[in-house]
Amino acid sequence: MKSNVGKMDRLFRGLGALALLACAWAAPLPLAARLAAFGLPGVYMMFTALAGTCLGYTLLGRSSCPVPRR
């Protein structure tokens, strides 16, 4: 798959994913609610940060990567 997530976007997605996963661990909610509200979005954001591609960006035809020079 073509990369469509830039370096700064990947950094902020990774930091956001870590925050969501910390909330999934520490929130005073039942386990199922923590996993649904914080765990799954955190895992998805971590995957997009590590893989460098985002399904939402692909569906919208967007990219946060810099324009390649010719």
Question: The tokens 């939402």 sit on which residue?
Answer: 56
Closest listed residue to residue 33, CA positions, set 41, 11, 64: 41
* DSSP character string of 42-55: HHHHHHHHHHS--H
Closest to 20 in 3D by CA, of 59, 48, 60: 48
pLDDT at position 70 over 80: no
- Residue spans of the domains in the chain: they are 8-55
Q: Is the dihedral of CA 19, 21, 24, 25 positive or negative?
A: negative
Q: pTM of the full predicted structure? A: 0.83
Model confidence pLDDT, tens digit, residues 7-47? 999 999 999 999 999 999 999 999 999 999 999 999 999 99
